[in-house]
Amino acid sequence: MPSNVRSRARERNSVLSRPEFMSLNHQPLCGGGPTESRGSSKRLGQLKHQTSQQSEEPTDRGSKDRRESNKMPEEDCMQLNPSFKGIAMNSLLAIDICLSKRMGVCAYTSSSWGGCRSMVALLALTGHGITWIIGTIVCLTRSNTLAGQEVLVNLLLALILDVMTVAGVQRLVKRRGPWEMTPSFLDCVAMDLYSFPAAHASRAAMVSKFLLSHLVLAVPLRILLVLWAFLVGMSRVLLGKHHLTDMVCGFALGMLHFSLMETVWLSSNTCQTLISISTLSWSPFF
């Protein structure tokens, strides 16, 4: 029996003396064991944290991309709990767009009133800024009276003021028309590129009020002049160029231009000076 126990102990020692089992023979130091285990656990925790962050970064980026792609444009988003004023404004704008689209019966030749498009376009041309500016200059060159020249010079300044003001407001607002149309050549020359406010309506209202105030006209001509101004504004809505609110605001802006020109009305002497400067016949010494 003792010989068997000794042989088994020798075999066990020979097995433990193999290279792959050498680490089992070394006992850890008394002072360094716990600290080394803690340090290794900390390093393992840091490695796990870094790997988890690296694995989460692509997922976070993917989720952010998905959220950005799923975001709707601001104009298509609906506000939660909107105010009464916001609801009223959105409702009025929706009604305005719907009615304006329905009234654009001459927008294209294939529209319901496409056969009348040329006539409506000709009516709108009578309220164009270039038409009125050229016509006023021609009348001014043929006028021989001081009173007539005074009225025509102030009308020319009012037309220039109307064109510049409407172009500036349109550039600020940049509202598109009910139908997507490219501006014509005359519209580009007159800087009538956007929908709000309606330049033709503003000009027609200002010119009609100006002529009614400074010309002696019979009652039928006065009625026709007011009717012409209204039809010019409506022609642009029928052509699909403007909304109804653009036309209404254009009429209001035209009346404002008339009031402003009445406030800064140029006298006859000032108008004669401007005419002399424009014809290069003015001399400050004589």
Closest listed residue to residue 246, CA positions, set 174, 182, 183: 174
Question: For residues 129 and 190, is the Cβ–Cβ distance under 8 A?
Answer: yes
The pLDDT of residue 97 is 87
Choice among 49, 128, 242, 257 that is catalytic: 242
The pLDDT of residue 30 is 45
Question: Could you confirm whether 243 is annotated as catalytic?
Answer: no
- Per this entry, what is the length of the chain? 286
Q: How confident is the model at residue 35 (pLDDT cuts 50, 70, 90)?
A: very low
Between these two residues, 151 and 57, which has the higher pLDDT value?
A: 151
Is 0.75 surpassed by the pTM of this model?
no
The pLDDT of residue 46 is 59
Question: For residues 235 and 120, is the Cβ–Cβ distance under 8 A?
Answer: yes
Closest listed residue to residue 147, CA positions, set 95, 205, 215: 215
If DSSP codes are grouped into helix, strand and coil, which group holds residue 201? Answer: helix
pLDDT surpassing 60 at residue 15: no
b/e string for 87-102 if b means 16 or more Cβ within 10 A? Answer: eeeeeeeeebeeebee
Question: For residues 105 and 112, is the Cβ–Cβ distance under 8 A?
Answer: yes
State the virtual CA torsion across 102, 106, 109, 112 in degrees, nearest 10: 50
**Can you count the helices (H) and strands (E) in the chain?**
12, 0
> Which tokens hold the place of 285?
């010494």
Closest listed residue to residue 154, CA positions, set 146, 164, 166: 146
Question: For residues 173 and 221, is the Cβ–Cβ distance under 8 A?
Answer: no
Least confident of 36-40, 157-161, 278-282: 36-40
Choice among 128, 200, 243, 257 that is catalytic: 200
Question: Could you confirm whether 242 is annotated as catalytic?
Answer: yes
Average pLDDT over residues 213-217: 88
